[in-house]
Amino acid sequence: MQEEFPMIQIMDQNGKITDTSYIDQIDKSLVQQFYRQLICMRAFDQKAINLQRQGRLGTYPGFEGQEAAQVGSALALEEDDWMLPTYRDHAASITFGKSYNILSSWNGRVEGNLPPKGKNILPPSVPIATQLPIAAGIAMANKYKNSSQAVIAYFGDGATSEGDFHEGLNFASVFQAPVVFFNQNNQYAISTPIWKQMHSETIAQKSIAYEIPGIRIDGNDIFAAYFETKKALERARNGEGPSLIEAVTWRYGAHTTADDPTKYRNQKEENEKRRQNDPVTRLERFMKAYGFWDEKLAEQIKGEIKEEIDGAVKVLETMPPANVNDIYDYMFEKPTWTLEQQKEEYINHLRGER
């Protein structure tokens, strides 16, 4: 199956362009946009983990190592497209939404789930794969309205073992909905390696069952993520239906700050993958090899990013503590008796009464 779904790569591990048909589409402006956003997202992720370790942020799911897949695909979207991210896709939602609002959701603030004005971004999905049938539904609605808006839905490799994945792809396929299912195969569903959760050699091959295009890309190659997502979105806009993209990548850290990857993953392998395939290093190698590198500009960008992220943290820390009632009060118009009971029990627990 790997022969039928070969890994698409435009830039190799050394930063060399392997598919020269894209050369004319790669210019200084695009490369600098990629670089700025990649290092910005890495700095954001590291800051969030530091905040959690200092007790200033709740449990947080890092994405270090997956920046190219998220940034590249998000930059391929049009301004009014729809995005359905998961809890690990902050680089995608920040890139597309141009806002750091999402940070506050990890302190329980409802503001963190609201998209910036004019942006169609749904709250990050924590339940696995439940956003995929919704993505198909939004895309179907866009089609019925003759809208040119396309939809992108993110999910991990573990999500493809859930029923919602198959329901979402089936609906989208039957109704030829304009949606791109963007899988980030970071090769671990929490602590379970992919070979223990599925017998399929690839995730892209699952597209065969739904008669839709399926491709496998190098998820650490930002050029592949950008150009292949752009093609899939164009297919969607042209009425050619859904696509499945498998972006093969690697999560450097833990599933969340609540677990320890050294307990389930070989750290020697981890360090070697980082040395060879890091998405930021690869783009830097490309920039140096092709005359795009500017040391002074790189330092300037790092300074600007620090200021931006420090500003986002200040906003976060001026917010009042999360309101416990928010967990219960916005699920239904009128709360069910079970929710009322849960709320009462939890508030009693916080008071130390039980």
What residues act catalytically?
251, 255, 264
Burial of 166 from C-beta contacts in 10 A (0-12 / 13-18 / 19+): middle
Give me the helix-helix angle, 28-53 and 90-97, nearest 10°: 130
Residue whose C-alpha is closest to residue 4's, from 211, 180, 214, 245: 214
Q: How far is CA 317 from CA 111, 213, 232, in A?
A: 13, 45, 40
Listed residue (281, 215, 220, 276) closest to 244, CA to CA: 215
Q: Which two tokens stand for residue 102?
A: 């999402």
Residue matched to tokens 């695009």: 30
For residue 57, give the nearest of 242, 317, 295, 339 by alpha carbon. Answer: 317
> Tokens in use for 213?
């295009």
DSSP 183: E
Measured in whole angstroms, the distance separating CA 84 from the mean position of its chain's CA atoms is: 9
- Work out whether strand 243-248 and strand 214-218 pair parallel, antiparallel, or are unpaired: parallel
Backbone φ and ψ of 44, nearest 5°: -60, -45
> CA-CA distance, 337 to 339, in Å (whole number)?
5
Q: Determine the Cα–Cα distance for residues 154 and 229; give it in Å rounded to an integer.
A: 12
Give strand pairing partners of 182. 154, 245
Q: At what angle do helices 67-75 and 222-237 cross, to 10 degrees?
A: 40
